[in-house]
Structure 1
Amino acid sequence: MRVVYIVFMSSVRKPAGGGSAQDVTYRWLKKHISALPRDSGTFLIESEVAQEAGTSRTPVREALLRLETEGFVQIIPKKGAFVPPVSDAEVRTVMEARELIEDWSMRRVVPAGDGFLDELDALLVEQEGLIDDAVGFIDCDRAFHGAIVRQAGNPVLADFYEALRERQVRMGLRAVVGDEGRFRKVLAEHAAIVSALRTGDPERAAQALGAHLGSTLAALHLPEVARRGFDDIPGA
């Protein structure tokens, strides 16, 4: 495994207004981490982050602690915050687990009530308004999928799914950062899921979900898996 000590360049815009210094720095760091090479570990140095982000070290430290609880970094004393690599194998295993849980949940929520469909519609509208905010867009994506899993009514699976989604946020950010076409495709696929739910046909709803997750795999640069489909993945 390669380890890189990051030299900051201005590839990610510096934080702008909107929220506390910690929140703004947290969002900036989250987006920056998403743009790092996936196959190598990277150390983030607190003082360098503060300089590049144009803030003091206190909000940087607080943001890094928050990111550590979410699994984005590992804080190593006297060295900095380590961003671990994300292997293709990890992407596959996380997505396989997601598919199993979401497919089961999707079939459980059909027929979907009007209140639940209204909730998903509201999330679609919110997500469309975040098309220029990659972090907010992916957070809303997580809320959309999480709502389906929670609606299925199994709290054990819902908790496990949330842990999976934390691991997948970095993957999801990487898939959309710098690609407006991917934003639009996600919105269209989410709308197709809601439309399928409205038909009351669990098979159609599950197919819409499977198409979306396969598209996500392709965006994460695993086209051979996306092309075969989840049904051909061993254990899926």
Structure 2
Amino acid sequence: MRFTFWRISAIISLHYREEIRCYIQEGRASMATQEKKRGGLKQAVYRDLRDKLINCVYAPGTTINELELTQTYGVSRTPVREAVTQLEMDGYVKILPKKGIYVTEITLEDVIQIFRARAEIEPITLRMAKPYLSVERLIALRNSILEHEHDIYNAYKWDMQMHLYFIDNCRNNYLVNMMHKVFDDNTRVVIGTGQNEAKIHNAVIEHTGILDSLIAENDIEVACRLMRKHIENCRLAAIQYLDSPAYREHIQKTSLTAPAAALA
């Protein structure tokens, strides 16, 4: 059973639409102010589109119409085109002349690289964060993860909360910034390759095991080993989906509009 972050999308869209509306209502201004305003519009559109792409509101393999985006955001084509160009540089879309904006597929190489980065770096950040972790916070995370085991939306939210709590407390800004980018791409992979109750149940067991090793046993070596194993299981689940009939059928449906390079 697959899911989308439509609730997140609604909140994100309301925030960015209000931001865009404020820019538009500023009225006529000097050339310098107009340039600043245009850049602000572009960034507001960029952030909203990026969040929707990461959360698969715009699903991999589909196309987005530029005109519809201008109508959605109530802006001209210029800030939309600039935002989309930046998103193409990020690797989330491909601009297809006369066809639209193609949302790039999630590839096997994406999965391999993302989970390899996580498997190597997350145990390191966990070890670095250990002296700064609060037992009270660890217990609260454990309780929240167990409480939402049967709620796919909130289960994934608390999954992310746990991982980012460790990363954000490693006290190394370079690692924090890098891993937040990795987790943006990881979110797209996890949602794009499908979530179901069985996956969530397994993840809950693995998460509570990591937390218990820190809370009850205070054993960082066990926690790091369990973290690496958990990430490996996530990698295998994503690869399994990419090799599934459902994903192959999806590829066939989108292959007429997608360039070969985007599907490679």
TM-score (norm 1): 0.64
- 1:115-134 matches, within 5 Å, as 115=134, 117-127=135-145, 128-129=147-148, 131-134=150-153
Note the residue ranges of structure 1 that are not aligned, 5 or more in a row: 1-10, 51-55, 224-236
Larger fraction in helix? 2
Residue 175 of structure 2 corresponds to which residue in structure 1? Answer: 157
- Is the Cα–Cα contact under 8 Å of residues 109 and 151 in structure 1 kept in the other structure? yes
2:205 is equivalent to residue 188 of structure 1: yes
| Post-superposition CA distance 1:90-144 (Å, at most 9, x none) | 211111111121111222334564x2x322333344454385353x544442232
> Cα RMSD over matched residues?
4.2
Q: Given the alignment, which residue of 131, 140, 148 partners 2:166?
A: 148
Residue 254 of structure 2 corresponds to which residue in structure 1? Answer: none
2:98 is equivalent to residue 74 of structure 1: no
- 1:1-236 matches, within 5 Å, as 19=11, 22=14, 30-33=55-58, 36=60, 41-45=61-65, 57-58=72-73, 68=87, 73-74=92-93, 76=95, 79-110=99-130, 113=133, 115=134, 117-127=135-145, 128-129=147-148, 131-134=150-153, 137-177=155-195, 179-198=196-215, 199-221=217-239
The one-letter code of the counterpart of 1:143 is Q
Residue 233 of structure 1 corresponds to which residue in structure 2? Answer: none
- Is the Cα–Cα contact under 8 Å of residues 110 and 200 in structure 1 kept in the other structure? no
The one-letter code of the counterpart of 2:210 is I
- Is the Cα–Cα contact under 8 Å of residues 125 and 170 in structure 2 kept in the other structure? yes
The 3 A distance-change label for structure 1 pair 19 and 91 is closer
Aligned length: 199
TM-score (norm 2): 0.58
Q: In structure 1, what is the Cα distance between the partners aligned to 2:89 and 2:212?
A: 32
Q: In structure 2, what is the Cα distance between the partners aligned to 1:126 and 1:71?
A: 33
Q: In structure 1, what is the Cα distance between the partners aligned to 2:5 and 2:240?
A: 31
Cα displacement (A) at 1:208: 1.1
Secondary structure of 1:220's counterpart equals helix
The one-letter code of the counterpart of 1:57 is T
The 3 A distance-change label for structure 1 pair 73 and 90 is closer
Note the residue ranges of structure 2 that are not aligned, 5 or more in a row: 17-47, 242-264
- Is the Cα–Cα contact under 8 Å of residues 149 and 204 in structure 2 kept in the other structure? no
Cα displacement (A) at 1:184: 1.7
- Is the Cα–Cα contact under 8 Å of residues 111 and 239 in structure 2 kept in the other structure? no
The structure number with the bigger radius of gyration is 2
| Paired-residue identity, % | 20
The 3 A distance-change label for structure 1 pair 99 and 49 is same
Determine which structure has greater relative contact order: mean sequence separation of CA pairs < 8 Å that are 6+ residues apart, divided by chain length: 2
